[in-house]
Amino acid sequence: MKDLMGLMKQAQAMQQKLQDAQAELDTLEVDGTAGGGVVTVKVTGKGSLKSITIDPSLMNPDEKEILEDLIVAAMNDARGKAERAAQERMESITRGLPLPPGLKLF
């Protein structure tokens, strides 16, 4: 019975850590860039877009498609960084737990 109580306490502690990590990801911000830094986007750890910065040199109507492509590339860069940050945070929380491979908790 003591083992069951200990296991319940561990589960509750893990749940709290996961909730804390979720809140952390809301405040974490990462930048993604494209075109050598002429387009920069900022996203949260959960992937929500916060801002876009565009170098004025790209404000040419004839290069609209290039700008659109750079925004997409910067967003993909930022999203990848946010996902890696979330994964690293999760690994630090679940280190040592017998979880099945590939289990995504975020």
Q: What is the residue-averaged pLDDT of the chain?
A: 83
Residue 48, pLDDT above cutoff 70: yes
Amino acid sitting at position 94:
T
Which class for 33: exposed (0-12), middle (13-18), buried (19 or more C-beta within 10 A)? middle
Residue with tokens 């801002």: 51
Q: What percent of the chain has pLDDT over 70?
A: 88
Question: Which of 8, 63, 11 is CA-nearest to residue 35?
Answer: 63
More confidently predicted of 97 and 22:
22
Domains in the chain, start-ordered, CATH in brackets?
Answer: 2-94 (3.30.1310.10)
Within the chain, residue ranges assigned H as helices are: 2-27, 64-94
Q: What percent of the chain has pLDDT over 90?
A: 33
Q: At what angle do helices 2-27 and 64-94 cross, to 10 degrees?
A: 160
Taking only the tens place, the pLDDT of each residue in 68-91 is: 999 999 999 999 998 888 888 877
Beta bridge partners of 31: 42
Q: What is the pTM of this model?
A: 0.67
